[in-house]
Structure 1
């Protein structure tokens, strides 16, 4: 049986990601693991193509504030669980989650089955499917 010392949970503010966060907290408590909560700002969906060309690595305050608000809500859900880290990244969510899981030496990724996108809700979300296929550690997809 694999021991979990570092659990990563990517969140996006959806109900599915909140259920995944609750499951990750439960597993972290049982295994006394570090919990890494990650929110990725996807500028491709948050900002129009024209705005992306003019931003040049600048993140509009409202987008940054939205990410911080989602992480603040995650802190409320997690409560006083020791060894919990909260991270805000910018980039393609699937690739950023995969990269961060390697950087943080995650033993387990716990994530929601679907995110906020309407089209993605038809089948398992494209991000979760990408991670199930490419991650080096187990991925628990929570419905």
Structure 2
């Protein structure tokens, strides 16, 4: 009996810290013939959250940033595909934890992989933690990849 390929949702922030997270997920996917969904959650569109988008220059800046994030995310997926892995890039907007959980449910994720800088309970209390919120609401197991704070 052949085991079905696993679906891994890999949440990344596009910082240098994404590297160790992607590599951990790629290792798991390689061992399980898994499919990787690289997901980055961009800031919501200002008009969507009730802010006025402002002059054209502001809208152009937001558009350029969104386009740059999309290109970087696609390049991460392309590197994985060149290594023989099945990888798809997905750029969405909204609250990071909510969108990661929602997309994981939609994609039928078997595991969510994300990085954690481990700032500690005081930081999480004051600022919050995407990793903590995903862990609390995830529809499947979550692999937390420790990432050095200096990345």
TM-score by length of 2: 0.73
The verdict on how the C-alpha distance between 1:98 and 1:7 changes in structure 2, with shifts beyond 3 A counting, is same
Query: Which of 77, 90, 93 is the matching residue for 1:90?
Result: 93
Structure 1 residue runs of 4 or more that deviate by more than 6 Å after TM superposition: none
- Residue in 2 that maps onto 1:19: 20
CA RMSD of aligned residues (A): 3.4
Render the CA deviation track for 1:31-88: whole Å, top value 9, x for unaligned. Answer: 00111111111238xx6x9x962239x7832121221132133135423333211111
Partner-residue secondary structure (3-state), 2:88 = strand
Greater C-alpha Rg: 2
The answer on whether the counterparts of 2:78 and 2:87 sit within 8 Å (CA) in structure 1 is no
The answer on whether the counterparts of 1:38 and 1:88 sit within 8 Å (CA) in structure 2 is yes
Residue 90 of structure 2 is aligned to residue 107 of structure 1: no
Count of residues paired in the alignment: 134
The answer on whether the counterparts of 2:7 and 2:109 sit within 8 Å (CA) in structure 1 is yes
Partner-residue secondary structure (3-state), 1:14 = coil
Q: Which runs of 5+ in 2 are unaligned?
A: 147-151
Measure how far apart 1:131 and its partner are.
Answer: 0.9
Q: Which runs of 5+ in 1 are unaligned?
A: none
The verdict on how the C-alpha distance between 1:24 and 1:94 changes in structure 2, with shifts beyond 3 A counting, is same
Measure how far apart 1:16 and its partner are.
Answer: 2.7
TM-score by length of 1: 0.77
The answer on whether the counterparts of 1:16 and 1:142 sit within 8 Å (CA) in structure 2 is no
